[in-house]
């Protein structure tokens, strides 16, 4: 960890939620990460949530959502390798991204994490879960751009679909656990992390807390 920047946000109880920017050393170089954590200082009982942005985006895409989630649990939003302020990937971008997230979790000593992926970030989330299945609890996906990878998920997975695509049940879904839950959510299409962060955080938390 090379640099931190603390910011208090909100007023009243919300002022106890702080955001932080930091750099971590991972196998691809330096990974820039935005975090927010509750008044407990991050020592919360809920599994931390790691948010993975879409291709061409960065951790900035999550806007006020980070602070909204941090009312209940610690949250981390990295700039995936080659995006934002992180160093470029070493070889295949998806492989490098999944490896960087596992390195981040190891550096932070996170024994269990939940994942949220947007677009291409959903594919990274599935790759992380397949690489370290015991370390990942639940996965939330926005959009269905990573449809092929979503359907091989073996963790509890909530898909908030906003692009009009509904996937057929995966082969053997009646006997597979956990079930992948598909929800039509057109309201999350237009910058939900900025325009409706609180309602989205509540929706995500309802699914994550179920486990």
Q: What is the pLDDT of residues 102-152, one digit of tens each?
A: 999 999 999 999 999 998 999 999 999 999 999 999 999 998 777 777 878
Q: What is the pLDDT of residues 34-78, one digit of tens each?
A: 999 887 655 557 899 999 999 999 999 998 999 999 988 999 999
Rg of the chain, C-alpha, whole Å: 16
Question: 197: closest CA among 74, 80, 76, 71?
Answer: 71
State percent of the chain over pLDDT 70.
Answer: 82
Looking up tokens 């932070």 gives 108
- State the chain's mean pLDDT as an integer: 84
Could you give phi then psi for residue 34, rounded to 5 degrees?
-100, 135
Burial of 168 from C-beta contacts in 10 A (0-12 / 13-18 / 19+): exposed
- pTM, to two decimals: 0.86
Task: Give the sign of the dihedral formed by CA 196, CA 18, CA 53, CA 156.
Answer: negative
183 SS3 class: strand
Token pair belonging to 104: 């981040």
Query: From CA 117, how far away is CA 60, in angstroms rounded?
Result: 14
How many CA atoms lie less than 13 Å away from 103 in the CB half-sphere?
21
Question: 35: closest CA among 96, 121, 99, 113?
Answer: 113
Contacts of 92 by beta carbon, 8 Å cutoff, 6+ apart:
none
Token pair belonging to 80: 């995936």
Is the confidence at residue 167, as pLDDT, over 60? no
Question: 83: closest CA among 104, 103, 62, 53?
Answer: 53
* Domains defined for the chain, CATH in brackets: 4-209 (3.40.50.1820)
């Amino acid at each position: 960890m090379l640099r931190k920047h603390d910011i208090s946000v909100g007023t009243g109880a919300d002022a106890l939620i702080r955001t932080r920017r930091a750099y971590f050393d991972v196998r691809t170089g330096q990974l820039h990460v935005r975090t927010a954590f509750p008044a407990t200082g991050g020592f919360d009982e809920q599994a931390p949530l790691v948010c993975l942005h879409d291709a061409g985006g960065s951790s900035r895409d999550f806007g006020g959502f980070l602070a909204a989630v941090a009312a209940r649990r610690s949250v981390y939003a990295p700039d995936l390798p080659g995006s934002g302020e992180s160093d470029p990937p070493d070889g295949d971008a998806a492989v490098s991204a999944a490896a960087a997230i596992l390195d981040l979790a190891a550096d932070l000593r996170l024994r269990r994490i939940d994942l949220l992926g947007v677009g291409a970030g959903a594919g990274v989330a599935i790759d992380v879960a397949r690489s370290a299945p015991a370390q990942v609890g639940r996965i939330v996906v926005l959009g269905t751009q990573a449809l092929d990878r979503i359907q091989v998920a073996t963790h509890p997975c909530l898909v908030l679909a906003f692009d009009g695509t509904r996937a057929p049940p995966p082969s053997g879904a009646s006997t597979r656990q956990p079930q992948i839950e598909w929800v039509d959510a057109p309201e999350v299409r237009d910058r939900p992390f900025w325009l409706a962060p609180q309602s989205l955080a509540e929706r995500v938390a309802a699914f994550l807390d179920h486990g």
